[in-house]
Amino acid sequence: MAIIVDKNCCVGCTLCVPACPFAAIDMVNGLAVINDQCTICGACIEVCPVTAISRDDEGTECEVCTPESYSGVWVFAEQRQGQMLNIAYELLGEGKKLADTLNVPLSAVLIGSGVAPMAKDLYAYGADTVYLVEDKELELYRTETYTAAFVSLVKKYMPEIILMGATHIGRDLAPRVAGRLVTGLTADCTELGIDLDERILLQTRPAFGGNVMATILCPVHRPQIATVRSGVMKKAAPDYDKTGSLVREAYRSREVKVRTKVREIVKEMGKVVNLEDAKVVVCGGRGIGSAAGFALVEKLAQKLGGVVGGSRGAVDAGWLPSGHQVGQTGKTVHPKLYIACGISGAIQHVAGMQGSKMIVAINKNPAAPIFKVADYGIVGDVHQVLPLLIAALEEQATKGAD
Ligand SMILES: Cc1cc2nc3c(=O)[nH]c(=O)nc-3n(C[C@H](O)[C@H](O)[C@H](O)COP(=O)(O)OP(=O)(O)OC[C@H]3O[C@@H](n4cnc5c(N)ncnc54)[C@H](O)[C@@H]3O)c2cc1C
């Protein structure tokens, strides 16, 4: 599918140019020309007074490119300033299972500047091939540049499945790539599988506020694209004896219209919290009562060598930065010990912590749903229970030191 302009009808009125939200229309020799920023949204069709613009629904699907002509599983190896994100390794772990089931190779897509040395880590974590696009222009993520690089790789090598992290970048890149390729995307999958008879990716994710699990299929279009959150899939143990093949592709910068300039990267102040890899998470909810109340949560976390998390209730109240949120729209954690303090246990919260090895809940309401998922429950006021726990740990530490 594409947007087409009938040159014989276009009167060069330029009404379509400001109507396009993606700056995808240029005026060339007095006529409207659609450029590669087009998302086929159709806003231009609505405003054209002479019906010169239309959607070309027919004849644009390549007869050669049937689903069967796509093959292989790809993982977007997301790196930031030369640092590979854990999610890339987790997706390679999951991608390997899918690739083995389909009996196809597993590949990683590495885009950036000076990132080639990271390919060896991608082989170690399971990639058979690394598609590398390097250019100074690609040093920092920008939607236009990364989309162009990714889409041209897909058009050339035609993978059947693409997995990306549901990170800020993945959530921006995946829909743009899917839009360009006119295919489907399932965001925030929690489980992936293969229907071997149909050779289709089974993309499972919570729906309707987490009340049902929906398995979503993309039966007609290819590639099938899914995003997965960090911490949901398991990475395999790396094998640094394993190697793979490197496919370098040039970045055709002159063909890409870039409207974004990164002037400065301002890092969020304050401590970076790595909830996903923490062995102990002490999580506070609205029951904590105030930002100041979190001092007790922090103290308990510190005594246990853990990190502080929060429910969305606590984050929305402004008691904690959003990076601390655990749950469906926050982070997924799987520590050895998870302590929920003053958290009701809404399904959206439980979705992010139910993989914890041991769950301890403190809540003054014995009927709170959190007790249904807890291994140990303490019915009581957090302001009384937390100081008792902290004191007990301090006493234990003193005894241990004697
Ligand atoms: C689409 C969607 C996505 C969402 N994503 C998330 C998410 O990612 N993470 C998340 O957490 N939520 C999420 N939510 C919100 C979720 O539904 C709940 O509203 C939220 O988890 C409630 O936070 P809470 O348990 O801290 O607060 P509340 O539900 O208000 O519960 C507070 C609990 O504290 C107890 N309490 C009160 N005072 C004390 C005290 N002194 N001592 C001990 N216990 C006390 C109460 O008995 C109560 O059980 C989402 C909702 C939607 C619709």
Q: DSSP letters of 235-299?
A: PPPP-TT---EEEEE---GGG-----------PPPS-----TT-SEEEEE-GGG-STTTHHHHHH
Domain holding 28, by residue range, is 2-56
Asked whether residue 178 falls in the same domain as residue 319, the answer is no
Q: What pTM, to 2 d.p., does this model score?
A: 0.66
pLDDT tens digits along 321-369: 888 999 988 888 999 999 999 999 999 899 899 999 999 999 999 999 9
CA atoms 264, 266, 272, 276: torsion sign: negative
Structure confidence at residue 59 as a pLDDT band (50, 70, 90): very low
Same-domain check for residues 223 and 300: no
The reply to whether ligand 1 has any atom less than 6 angstroms from the CB of 348 is yes
Provide the 10 A C-beta neighbour count for residue 309.
35
* CATH code of the domain in which 28 resides: 3.30.70.20
Q: Are 116 and 243 members of one domain?
A: yes
Q: Are residues 305 and 347 in the same domain?
A: yes
d(CA 226, CA 215): 12
Q: In whole angstroms, what is the distance from residue 294 CA to residue 300 CA? A: 10
Whether residues 42 and 109 fall in one domain:
no
The residue to mutate among 211, 275, 286, 347, having the most atoms of ligand 1 within 8 angstroms of its beta carbon, is 286
Residue 313 has pLDDT above 70, yes or no: yes
291 Cα: distance to centroid of ligand 1 (angstroms): 15
Q: 126 near 106, Cβ under 8 Å?
A: yes
Atom of ligand 1 nearest to the CA of 209: 1
Under a CB-based contact definition with an 8 Å cutoff, are residues 185 and 248 in contact?
Answer: no
Residue closest via CA to ligand 1's atom 23 equals 313
Q: Quick check: 378 and 362 in contact, CB under 8 A?
A: yes
d(CA 342, ligand 1 centre) in Å: 8
* Domain contains 274: no
Is residue 58 very low, low, confident or very high in pLDDT (cuts 50, 70, 90)? very low
Helices (H), 312-365: 312-316, 347-350
Can you read off the two tokens belonging to residue 20? Answer: 């396009």
- Residue 228 sits in the same domain as residue 374: no
Q: State the DSSP code for 204.
A: E
- Regarding whether 310 and 213 lie in a shared domain, the answer is no
Q: What percent of the chain has pLDDT over 70?
A: 96
Q: Is 327 close to ligand 1, i.e. is its CB under 6 Å away?
A: yes
Ligand 1: centre distance to CA 284 (Å): 9
Q: Cβ(293) to ligand 1 under 6 A? A: no
DSSP classification of residue 116: G
Helices (H), 75-118: 86-102
102 vs 323: which has the higher pLDDT:
102
Q: How far is the CA of 304 from the centre of ligand 1 (A)?
A: 23
Is 266 a member of any domain?
Answer: no
**Is 198 buried (19+), middle (13-18) or exposed (0-12) by CB count in 10 A?**
exposed
- For ligand 1, whether the C-beta of 344 sits within 6 Å is yes
CB of 223 closer than 6 A to ligand 1?
no
Q: Is there an atom of ligand 1 within 6 Å of 284 CB? A: no
Q: What is the CATH number of the domain that holds 142?
A: 3.40.50.620
Q: Which residues contact residue 279 at a Cβ distance below 8 angstroms, ignoring those fewer than 6 apart?
A: 305, 306, 335, 336, 337
Distance 185 CA to ligand 1 centre (A): 30
Mean model confidence pLDDT for the chain: 92
- 20-24: list long-range contacts, CB under 8 Å, 24+ apart: 20/44, 23/257, 23/259
Q: Mark whether 182 and 290 lie in a shared domain.
A: no
Q: Look at residue 401 in the predicted model and tell me its pLDDT.
A: 66
What is the tens place of the pLDDT at every residue in 246-293? 999 999 877 788 888 899 888 765 566 789 889 999 999 999 999 999
Residue 60: pLDDT band by 50, 70, 90 thresholds? very low
Cβ proximity of 52 and 35 under 8 Å: no
**77 domain residue, yes or no:** yes
Does 265 fall in a domain? no
Q: Does residue 80 fall inside a structural domain?
A: yes
Task: Verify that 196 and 101 share a domain, yes or no.
Answer: yes
Let me know the angle formed at the C-alpha of 15 by 14 and 18, rounded to the nearest 5 degrees.
Answer: 95
Q: How far is the CA of 90 from the centre of ligand 1 (A)?
A: 29
Assess if residue 314 is contained within a domain. Answer: yes
What pLDDT score was predicted for residue 305? 94
- pLDDT, tens only, 164-212: 999 989 999 999 999 988 899 999 999 999 999 999 999 999 887 667 8
* Structural domain count of the chain: 3
Count other C-beta atoms under 10 Å from residue 60's C-beta: 11
284/286 Cα distance (integer angstroms): 7
CATH number, domain with residue 297:
3.40.50.1220
